[in-house]
Structure 1
Amino acid sequence: MVSAAVLTVSDTAFANHSLDNSGPTAADFLNGRGYQVLHTEIVPDDTQLIRQAIVAWVNDSPRPIDLIVTTGGTGFGTRDVTPEAVSPLIERHAPGLVHLILSSSLKHTPLASLSRPVVGTIGTTLVVTLPGSTKAVKENLEALSSDGVLDHALDLIKGGTGSGVHDPSSRQVWDTSRGDPQSNIHHCHHHRHHTHEHQAPKQRAVLSQDPLLPGEPINRPIVTARHRSSPYEIVSLEHAIASILHQVRPLPHTLEKVSPTLRGHVLAEDVFASSDVPFTSTTNVDGYALRSIDPPGVYKVLTTNLTKPLPQGAVFRVNTGGPVPPGADAVIMVEDTVVKSTHKDEKGGDLEEAEIETLVQIPRGENIRFPGSDVKAGDLVFSKHTILDGLGGDIGTMAFIGKKEVHVTRKPVVAILSTGNEIVDLHGAQKTSSDSWGGVWDTNRPSLQAALEGLGYRVVDLGIVHDNVQDHVAKIQEGLDTADLILTTGGTSMGPGDLLKPVIEHNLQGTIHFGRVKMKPGKPTAFATIPKMKDPQGGHTPIFALPGNPASALVTFYLFVLPALRRLGGWKPDSCQLPRIRVRVQDKMRLDPRPEFHRVVLRIGDDGTIEAHSTGGQRSSRVPSFTGANGLVALPAKTEEGPQEILPGSFASAVVIGEIRG
């Protein structure tokens, strides 16, 4: 049986699913033809979301999808972007099927000439884009199904001969687990193994070029095979962050001992007090426990533990936090007493107080913490999802209530690596003499490791990877085996040795969710997920391919990687990004056609306003622009009608990446 999926593309239907008529029309038609519609979904008219839905069905569906039908967004409206979304995914276009759709529609209305359908294959999946009109959907599907055209196409895509479709008396039913028509399994199996005429294409929807020529034995990139323009749509910063938070899921829970290492963990349970705190009456000052009815006067000082009520004419000496004896209901401070007599040693020296005089009368309860006055048994002390900070109070409170172990979301382990033949390890092989080029010091690994460990994350250092496919695959695989997130730098642009995106897609069956971002610095940033082959739950490991320029790497780390790490660690999506504050700019900042993040030092001004001082030249390779930087001023994109620069004294928004000092 043919498996199918239907995607409705419509802003209106996405806002109100009950308004979707074209999607159900397509699903009913396909089910009526004997196909099995396994998935239906509605997305807005958004290029990236359309692609993500299709790629997810092609790559991640538990059962292979033979046919994907989209409805809507194929016209000339300003929001009609389905052709632009689907075309880059298509590996083999089917212009004949497009002609069949258009010619059939033109028989009904000349307005069909305004439709822009796209038909073709992604791996072994046929994708057909149809208009949003229910009438057009039905007419187009009837045209594709006439004379067995659609069945014949699906048969050929799966590697069959299509002979059963040519013979009307013999209709084949597909077994998608094998890719063979059940009515002729033996014949098709023999055919696929003894001829290359209908060899099935790859089962991945990829955009990057294959880094190696067919049969290339030495795992090196082929310069002539690279793209001359990026196949990845450039997405907005907001879209990129939304994609990250949508794809990344919190790690499993773990039981941890209460200790300083809990810093930054997120609670996976509500924490209740198991007993009253304090358990018994205690004092919060140094002094003497007494009865509140005792007037000022001279009293005998007792120091040994009392099990019976405090006798008349006596007080009990206590220290801060110590228990108050039975019968006492107040504590007088040392400052409100004087010594009247002392116990002496053999030589007549003072040993300790024998009697004191109280100078004031103390009201009941003064300076006493009664049982449960701080926390009562059963009180909710921490709510689930609380982020345990590193300022001491949260861990101290856990100890205060006697909590020894607690369930938390596991913090992610991060694997980092740098790429490029030109990169030299700072503590490894030395550069050559200054009069010849010997490479550049690897700045990214040390800076990113410092940032990660400063935030409390454990780091696995994978070192430097040279520009060949084999090394890339081996190192990334090591990261998949040892870490929860992989962080790479370099190899994301258009050079022949920029292999990260091709390796992720071609060699590791990963999905790149975005490959370029409209921002400065950091345009070639890529975010992908790679399947965990050994995970029975079918999980994925996120991987970030950051630009190689050091300033770009750090900017994109704080904007993209840190939110992903927080989400992995159980932070709620709306709290994963770093905070933004209003600042007063102190230096002129030129605007760029892309939104830019200008490195600054944030200080508290004399009037209490947060001032943003530029760190100087903002070239993406200039690491000193991050020296002392604790903020990133978010500059808007330059427009023809708008200002060309931000002047001193202007206010702007800034991302806070470090402590703000006076």
Structure 2
Amino acid sequence: MSAPLKAAILIVSTTAAKDPSTDAADAALRDVFEQEGGGRWDVVESKIVSDVTTQIQRQITLWTDATEPVNLVITTGGTGFAVADQTPEAVSVLLHKQAPGLVHGMLASSLAVTPFAMMSRPVAGVRNQTVIITLPGSPKGARENLQAVLKTLPHACLQAAGADSRALHSGGVKKLELEAGPTTATTTTARVSSALIGSVLASDIHAPAPVPAFRASIVDGYAVVVPPGGDMRGVYPVVAVSHASASGGGGGEEDEKVLKEGQIARITTGAPLPAGATAVIMVEDTVLVSKTEDGAEEKEVEILAEGVREGENIREVGSDIAEGSRVLGKGEQVTAVGGEIGLLAAVGVGEVPVYARPVVGVLSTGDEIVEHDRAGGLRLGEVRDTNRPTLIAAAREAGYEVLDLGIASDKPGTLEEVLRDALRRVDLVITTGGVSMGELDLLKPTIERALGGTIHFGRVAMKPGKPTTFATVPVKDNAGERVSKVIFSLPGNPASALVTFHLFVLPSLHQMSGISPPGLPRVPVVLSHDFPLDKVRPEYHRAIVSVGSDGVLSATSTGGQRSSKVGSLKGANALLCMPSGPEPLRKGAKVEALLMGSLRSDL
């Protein structure tokens, strides 16, 4: 392995310059380099300066203009809108080359987490032989931004340092992408069978052979050699028979007999044409004149057709699918009804590259939760586990393998052990319960402190589902490589858990398995009655959407929407995207609906 690349960290903070103990960004960034840098980085130095342009520029140039410059300078802090935030302006004038792609990568990653990312003003580029990137001041934001671009930085730094571009690109783009690490979706190979249903193709599929592979008849009838002018009227001897079966008794182009003008051959639909044949006459345009002595075959047939053209009723080689043509595209999903499997089978493709579908684990938490099918009645304070079987069913219906992780008690050690085991076995963990503000809610501290994870958000301004939490945890895969696994901690109330599954978990599963666009399909609907609105939060209202005789989609509420009310999801096939407001939305108003199931019909 080549020598590690040298990185330096500059903390821009007047507060930290006075008291270095207040800074947490340095440790967070060093952890990213160590845990996710693939052993390619050596953080050689870190410094703290005040929010002063001259101090920022002086320290950066000490690193970049030296006889042996560092490969990468990371600054953190001073990228916001505050009066004292000067880092982007200080760095911009130092750059010899701009790197807008790195800026876009960081912003795109952050915007997927919080809309406040648009308030950051990062810059990136090259000075001399050093790549320079500015990151936000918060440890969380700095960490996320560095993670977004870290995999591509070795290549950028080597180019900036003067490495030979031809050598760097010798393995092609695919090699560089492989070195840059996995994307949100990983690929595998799958056999063409019913197990392929629901998978998304990871590359274009081209036909290895033409369809049809031979000249074939479109109809039952007689193969002929069309004379000049196309007048086929007359009586002709039947000299051969061609069946669609490969063992059907001759007539293929491989036969020695070549059909000549004045001769005809009996042929069935899909059978190969005899050599020399130029058209097929439908049996409806013929009259049987005589049979062979044993009566088994036609001997002579009168043809009534005139104006026959060469190629009539013939499927030429590759006329359906040409050899080498693209039959399915990267990103297309294999469905049970769309004919994709039949198309792959027709061209002789036995295996295809697909995006691997993540394995999901579902865990319930809380000492009060008991198995839903436990014999006997409930003791005071006990609650039957409604969410786990519901979420397992929903994830399996969406096409994903699901592991039942059971129930974890409200004990820190137990919860940590269960989650560690789960993250070794699955790609995405769904938990329910344990994310509200109660004293016994241990999930968030377990993720952050015990597992070293990052909580990207823990409260959402929506109804239901306010305490929904999304986190990633670094773990080692079977190959010993460090990867990030996903945890979605959903509310304990049954309606909230299922709604947030469809709004947050399902789109993430789609993203991980290559489905685009991710998430539930959106359709416009008309309200069939007045709908009350929450005064503060936007609401995802459980509803039944049906299509009327006029083709209009109308929405009807399933009733009371309390988040603990399991019955509000019975029969629901949609979530209505309702705004907050003081007054109800009236009958006839139009809103967007997220379809969870098939449409009802009022016809």
2:232 to 295, 299, 312: 295
User: Quick check: 1:521–1:555 contact (8 Å CA) kept in 2?
Assistant: yes
Partner residue of 1:544? Answer: 488
User: Quick check: 1:431–1:439 contact (8 Å CA) kept in 2?
Assistant: no
1:57 to 29, 44, 48: 29
User: Quick check: 2:11–2:26 contact (8 Å CA) kept in 1?
Assistant: no
Partner residue of 1:426? Answer: 372
> Whole-Å Cα distance in 2 between the matches of residues 68 and 266 of structure 1?
48
Report the residue type matching 2:556 in the other structure: H
| Equivalences for residues 185-196 of structure 1 within 5 A | none
> Whole-Å Cα distance in 1 between the matches of residues 278 and 49 of structure 2?
80
- SS of structure 1 residue aligned to 2:184: coil
> Whole-Å Cα distance in 1 between the matches of residues 298 and 51 of structure 2?
92
CA shift, 1:328, in A, is 1.7
In the alignment of these two chains, the number of paired residues is 453
2:9 to 4, 11, 14: 4
User: Quick check: 2:202–2:354 contact (8 Å CA) kept in 1?
Assistant: yes
TM-score (norm 1): 0.62
> Whole-Å Cα distance in 1 between the matches of residues 457 and 526 of structure 2?
33
> Whole-Å Cα distance in 2 between the matches of residues 297 and 506 of structure 1?
93
User: Quick check: 1:68–1:127 contact (8 Å CA) kept in 2?
Assistant: no
Change (3 A) 1:501 1:281: same
> Whole-Å Cα distance in 2 between the matches of residues 284 and 394 of structure 1?
23
User: Quick check: 2:25–2:76 contact (8 Å CA) kept in 1?
Assistant: no
Q: What runs of 5+ residues in structure 1 fail to find an aligned partner?
A: 9-25, 36-50, 73-125, 139-203, 207-246
> Whole-Å Cα distance in 1 between the matches of residues 299 and 190 of structure 2?
50
Partner residue of 1:597? Answer: 540
Counterpart check, 1:500 vs 2:446: no
Deviations 1:302-328 (A, max 9, x none): 323131222444433333322122122
Partner residue of 1:659? Answer: 598
> Whole-Å Cα distance in 2 between the matches of residues 450 and 133 of structure 1?
52
Deviations 1:356-411 (A, max 9, x none): 44343443222221012122222222333333333242222211221111222211
CA shift, 1:526, in A, is 0.3
CA shift, 1:514, in A, is 0.2
- SS of structure 1 residue aligned to 2:361: strand
CA shift, 1:342, in A, is 4.4
Identity of aligned residues (%): 43
Counterpart check, 1:316 vs 2:261: no
Change (3 A) 1:414 1:448: same
User: Quick check: 1:288–1:334 contact (8 Å CA) kept in 2?
Assistant: yes
Partner residue of 1:577? Answer: 519
Report the residue type matching 1:653 in the other structure: E
> Whole-Å Cα distance in 1 between the matches of residues 415 and 442 of structure 2?
8
User: Quick check: 2:201–2:352 contact (8 Å CA) kept in 1?
Assistant: yes
Q: What runs of 5+ residues in structure 2 fail to find an aligned partner?
A: 1-5, 35-41, 53-74, 92-138, 142-180, 242-248
CA RMSD of aligned residues (A): 3.7
Partner residue of 2:589? Answer: 650
User: Quick check: 1:68–1:128 contact (8 Å CA) kept in 2?
Assistant: no
Partner residue of 2:199? Answer: 265
> Whole-Å Cα distance in 1 between the matches of residues 417 and 589 of structure 2?
50
> Whole-Å Cα distance in 1 between the matches of residues 47 and 525 of structure 2?
53
- SS of structure 2 residue aligned to 1:582: strand
- SS of structure 1 residue aligned to 2:424: helix
> Whole-Å Cα distance in 1 between the matches of residues 212 and 580 of structure 2?
58
CA shift, 1:524, in A, is 0.5
Report the residue type matching 2:495 in the other structure: A
> Whole-Å Cα distance in 1 between the matches of residues 273 and 394 of structure 2?
49
TM-score (norm 2): 0.67
Deviations 1:270-304 (A, max 9, x none): 22222222221112333332234461344444323
User: Quick check: 1:424–1:430 contact (8 Å CA) kept in 2?
Assistant: no
- SS of structure 2 residue aligned to 1:646: coil
1:446 to 389, 407, 422: 389
> Whole-Å Cα distance in 2 between the matches of residues 56 and 268 of structure 1?
35
1:401 to 333, 340, 347: 347
Change (3 A) 1:2 1:390: closer
Deviations 1:97-149 (A, max 9, x none): xxxxxxxxxxxxxxxxxxxxxxxxxxxxx9977822479999xxxxxxxxxxx
CA shift, 1:354, in A, is 4.5
CA shift, 1:604, in A, is 1.2
User: Quick check: 1:69–1:128 contact (8 Å CA) kept in 2?
Assistant: no
Partner residue of 1:470? Answer: 413
Change (3 A) 1:462 1:355: farther
Partner residue of 2:555? Answer: 612
> Whole-Å Cα distance in 2 between the matches of residues 268 and 477 of structure 1?
30
| Equivalences for residues 24-39 of structure 1 within 5 A | none
- SS of structure 1 residue aligned to 2:415: helix
Partner residue of 1:21? Answer: none
> Whole-Å Cα distance in 1 between the matches of residues 7 and 522 of structure 2?
51
CA shift, 1:477, in A, is 1.5
User: Quick check: 1:489–1:546 contact (8 Å CA) kept in 2?
Assistant: yes
Change (3 A) 1:424 1:300: farther
Change (3 A) 1:134 1:476: closer
Deviations 1:160-197 (A, max 9, x none): xxxxxxxxxxxxxxxxxxxxxxxxxxxxxxxxxxxxxx
Report the residue type matching 2:566 in the other structure: V
